[in-house]
A = this chain, B = another copy of it.
Amino acid sequence: MPIRVVGFDGDDTLWHSETRFSVTQAEFRELLKRHVPDADVDARLSEMEMKNLSIYGYGVKSFTLSMLETAIELTQGRIPATDLEVILGWGKRMLMEPTKLIDGVEETLRGVSGRYDLLLITKGDLFDQESKLARSGLGELFLGVEILTEKNVDTYRGVFQRRGIKPDEFVMVGNSLRSDVVPVVALGGRAVHIPYEVTWHHEHVPDEELPKQGWRRAASIRELPELLETI
């Protein structure tokens, strides 16, 4: 079946995202070290994010709230409010940063948009994602935008139904095996995995759980036009 629709993940597939979290997390680590030199700040923040995921969902606002809670808990309430104000400021900075496109994205999307219907399929905070898309300058290239609270078999099935897409005419392109590859291939679609320089631990998939076929790996989005013709 020839490909008709290509879905693209946003964060770390079209634009840099994890790096802005990493930069902020390094600053957070430094700030906390001044109060609790021996604490494993990264581990505690990561635990807090996982604990809060079912209440807050994904995104920068959730991350900011988890940083604040971690800071208060790790210092047993001794951290001054002025330091917490600094953390609030980091959250805002992340939300207002310009959308930095990944190398090759703009040319590639303009190239393939004439041949396929393009969808942006991303998860996270609705407001932040729409704002990033608006600032990316790529909005007009997408036939539609789907912002999901989670990317799994059920939510991809919902997208296919809403938009009248048959799985075998669909390819998903993204940096996460867990969110962009595994559920799409399970539904009978195909996928192209383009790893990003940093991967959030939560997104890792053990090798034995990866599908045997139905997906390919690319080193850069620039390889996409050719892959879409042969996948």
User: How many angstroms from the CA of A65 to the CA of B62 in the assembled complex?
Assistant: 10
Contact A81 B82 (CB under 8 A): no
Is residue A206 contacting chain B, with contact meaning CB distance below 8 A? no
- Complex interface: stretch among A91-99, A109-117, A170-178, A197-205: A91-99
From B55, B77, B81, give the contact of A75 (CB < 8 A). Answer: B81
Chain A residues touching B, majority SS? helix
Contact-size category for A: 35 or more
Task: Return chain B residues, CB-CB under 8 Å to A61.
Answer: 56, 61-62, 65
Given A68-B84, A72-B81, A162-B144, CB of A55 within 8 Å of CB of B149: no
Interface residues of A (CB under 8 A from B): 52, 55-59, 61-62, 64-65, 68-69, 71-73, 75, 77-82, 84-85, 88, 91-92, 95-96, 125-128, 130, 144, 147, 149, 162
